[in-house]
Amino acid sequence: MGIIGVALYRLLDLLIFVIFVQCIMTWIPGATQTKLYDILSAITDPIEEPIRSVLYRYINSPLDFTPIIAFFIIRLAQRAVFIIF
């Protein structure tokens, strides 16, 4: 795999880590009002908002499955990067 492929693969790994940290922060009281959470939301919202809008159109649940679906989509993108590069 070339250097571009490795860089894309690692960038997607970093994105998964950011989504995971943001999910953990939602369980901590008061953590959603911090500047760090705002920064993480600015990174993940372009990915999660389209998923969330489609998901809430069909499923009305108090649980947010958007990060799980985002993990799945990012993993598929990683496999595509691995195959292409």
pLDDT at position 5 is 94
CA distance 76 to 32: 29
Residue-range definition of the domain harbouring residue 36 = 3-84
- Residue among 26, 77, 47, 85 at smallest CA distance from 34: 26
CA distance 61 to 39: 26
Q: How many domains does the chain have?
A: 1
Q: What is the pLDDT of residues 11-44, one digit of tens each?
A: 999 999 999 999 999 999 999 999 999 999 999 9
pTM for this predicted structure: 0.90
CA distance 39 to 49: 15
Overall average pLDDT of the 37-59 stretch: 95
Are 12 and 78 a contacting pair, CB within 8 Å?
A: yes
